[in-house]
Structure formats: structure tokens, C-alpha cells
A = this chain, B = another copy of it.
């Protein structure tokens, strides 16, 4: 299949790589041109100078960029992909963005005879490299059925949650669950250390019961060690929680702990931890 891939960051780069290695004909675009050249040197394929050029003749155009305004730019902006896409082609947006922008661009795509699927991912850099992401999709069933086999190139779980915007809303639910969970874990580990407990022994017991979580199993050691120079950055989590809290204003949800944890992340940013992993909430408690 002819696929364009826009945005070769730490997620998009390996995702596009899986498509090229999976036998697709991939043309990439990245704002910083040197990254696109490095990608071609590593994986093969071709690079283009604009999203529009990459999208010409593509069956599917994937994007994994920064935020709402970036998604607008690469679709309906001056050098955006939409005008170059052929009829019935599908734009798949892997950016974590608002449900509002997803619906807006879904409408713009349909008006041009194109399709738009919002498809944010979770699983982080490691998941992108291993091709083991979870992909949460919103949009029409027919184009979803066509792109699902493509997305399996990097998705261990590819699910259509519902109509346009539902993928983004699903990602928000994911981030909400994580916010409270990581803060609870941080408070537990902070208390365990202050109580002088043997933390590995504590984890060996409580990770088998009702307190168990992926975060506990994968983050307790680095949290106790105060290692945060990896993973999903506080800056990104704040972007996501900003989207969630704005959407919650719209749909009337009450999110007291998510709003509080968002403020904790603001404190971490203020002390220079903007690039730290989300698990750095414990640093605020420990005064690291």
C-alpha cells in the first residue's frame, strides 16, 4: 500500500519504520528535514519536503505530530495533505489531540470525499519500537476496516471505540486512570520509605492483590531510586490533562484528583522536571 507518514518523533519514527519493513511503500515527512533523511537511511522508503507532497497518491496518510494546531497544519494548512489526497483515501491521526479537532477534521475530510480516523496510541516509546502499541480509533467503520490491517503493523490492540472523536476520548480515559493511579502509588512508596520498610518485600506482597497495577510493577523501582530521565514526559502529560479538563468542562464531568495531579505536574515543571517521566510525582512528596 502507498502510505505517507507525517511526523518522525520518538513515536512516529519507529511506527513508520514498521510500515516500511512490513512491505508498504512509505513516503515520510518531518518538519526537521534531517530527521526524515536519517529515517530513509535507516529504513529505506522516500522522504518528501511537505505533507502535501508526501500525501500525493497515498492510499493512507498517517500523522503523529504535537498537538491540535500541528494536526490542522498538516491536514488543512498551507502545505497540508488534504488537497493532495486522492478520493476515498484515509487520514489516520495518531497524535493525542482534542476530540473537537478530530471532529472538525473529520468534517473537512468528508467534505472532500476523504476519510479521517482519530487514532491516538498508548504504550510509549518502547511500545512503538516493538510494534506493541494500543491504538484507540474513532471514525467510520468502513475506512477503519480498511486501515486496521495496516495499523496492526505497530498495534497489538487496534480497536474502533466509536464515531469520530471516540479514539481521543478513550485516550483521555486512559490518562485519567493513570493520573490517580500514579499519585496513589507515589504516596504509598513515599510512606513506605518514611516508615523504614523494606520496599522490595512490600512490593512482593502488595503487587499480588487489589493494589496491583502496571505502574506498580514497572515503575516502583525507578520511583524509589528517584530516576525519572526516561518515559512519558511531564510536559506531555500536562498537555493531555489540559485536553481532558477542557473536555470535562464541556461534558460536565467532575475530576477532583485529575485536576489536583495536573497542578502537581505544574509544580514539577516549575522545578525543572518538565522532561521527567510521569512517575516523578513521588519527587514532590520526597522533596527530591
Contacts and interface: CB of A to CB of B under 8 A. Distances in A.
Interface of A: 99, 122-124, 127, 134-136, 156-157, 159-162, 166, 169-170, 172-192, 194-198, 201-202, 204-206, 208-216, 218, 232, 244, 247-248, 251-258, 260-261, 264, 285
Nearest to A179: B184
Contacts of A216: 177
Nearest to A252: B194
B191 A253 contact: yes
Given A185-B177, A254-B190, A212 B213 contact: yes
Given A176-B191, A181-B185, 4 more contacts: A122-B211, A170-B202, A187-B257, A210-B218
A206 B161 contact: no
12 contacts: A127-B209, A134-B205, A134-B208, A136-B206, A160-B201, A162-B196, A162-B198, A172-B195, A180-B181, A181-B211, A257-B257, A257-B261
A174 B260 contact: no
Of A191, A218, A261, which is in contact with the most chain B CB atoms at under 10 Å from its CB? A191
Contacts of A215: 210, 213
Nearest to A121: B209
Contacts of A256: 183, 187, 260, 264
A212 to B, nearest CB: 4
B251 A181 contact: no
Given A198-B162, A285-B253, A122 B209 contact: yes
A99 B195 CA distance: 10
A156 B257 CA distance: 33
Contacts of A218: 210
A213 B248 CA distance: 23
A69 to B, nearest CB: 23
B170 A206 contact: yes
B187 A124 contact: no
A192 B166 CA distance: 10
Contact of A184 (B180, B201, B202): B180
A184 B134 contact: no
Contacts of A211: 122, 173-175, 177-178, 181, 214
A209 to B, nearest CB: 5
